[in-house]
Amino acid sequence: MAQQQMMASFWTNTFLQQQQTAMLMQQQQSPSPFLQRGQTIRLNLTRIFRTARATPNIPQTIIVQQFEIPSFFRRIAAEAIDSVIMFIFKFFLVYTLVRADLIELDTFDSILTANADLQTLIDVTQGLFSVELLFKLVTAIIEALCITFGVPVGCTPGKRLLGIKVISCLDVQPVTGSPDRVAITGFAYVDFKRALLRSVLKNMVIMFLFPLSTAFYMFNYNRAIYDLAAKTIVVRM
């Protein structure tokens, strides 16, 4: 009887050991469900990020509006007002640079003497070129901010006083029966990128081609060359 119990216990232990060995081998051959889940998560995240990179930017809403095109002289008057305002700003900017010892006014005293010649004028102009370029860049940024985020949108101080503004323009067509009005297709507002492009081109044209820069307003609907480049147009409010 004791011998039979020992034999039964031996076979039972052997069977349990075989079952444990088989379970261990199965776990080693197939990964755990947690590992599989981790792999699935990594795959999904990779696909999500790849899809996000491939998704294009959401475009703005395209609208059609009717406006009246301002006269050439109204635009010039608005530019003159903005120029006076920026000249005051430039005065304080130069004053700040002088106070910070970044500009030495003593180097420009030679132009006021009786011995000043053309070479002296050229030397002084070259010395002020970097300051003028910095001022034009600051002016372009300020104007772009006014066009995109101004109150109202699209207006600099001069344009607001003269009742005109800058809007987006993808296409412009005359309105039948209203010779003074045009139908303009464009975005709801001028984004900062296009506004900055317009401002930089305008300031560079005025800086290097004045007074020939006035000829750049002679396109259809009084659009300037920088309006065509930035796809904008100036209209009456």
pLDDT digits (tens, 9 = 90+) for 218-228: 678 888 888 99
Q: What's the pTM value of the predicted model, to 2 decimals?
A: 0.65
* Confidence grade of residue 167 (pLDDT, cut at 50, 70, 90): very high
d(CA 67, CA 69): 6
Q: What mean pLDDT value characterizes the chain?
A: 75
5, pLDDT greater than 60: no
Lowest-confidence pick of 40-44, 57-61, 92-96, 173-177 = 40-44
Contacts (Cβ under 8 Å, ≥6 apart) of 132: 207
Tokens for 28?
A: 């080693």
- What is the pLDDT at residue 96? 85
Q: Is 21 helix (H, G, I), strand (E, B) or coil?
A: helix
* Confidence grade of residue 214 (pLDDT, cut at 50, 70, 90): low
Sort residue 236 into left (φ over 0), alpha (ψ -120 to 50) or beta: beta
Tokens for 178?
A: 């209203």
pLDDT digits (tens, 9 = 90+) for 20-75: 555 555 544 444 443 343 333 343 444 434 444 444 455 568 999 999 999 888 98
Q: Is 181 helix (H, G, I), strand (E, B) or coil?
A: strand
Q: What does the CA dihedral 83, 88, 93, 97 come to, rounded to 10 degrees?
A: 120
d(CA 129, CA 108): 13
Estimate the share of the chain in helix, then strand, then coil, as percent rounded to the nearest 5: 65, 15, 20
* Confidence grade of residue 157 (pLDDT, cut at 50, 70, 90): very high
pLDDT digits (tens, 9 = 90+) for 106-123: 666 666 666 666 766 666
135, pLDDT greater than 50: yes
Q: For the residues 200-205, what does the mean pLDDT come to?
A: 84
CA distances for 202 relative to 52, 158, 198, angstroms: 36, 15, 6
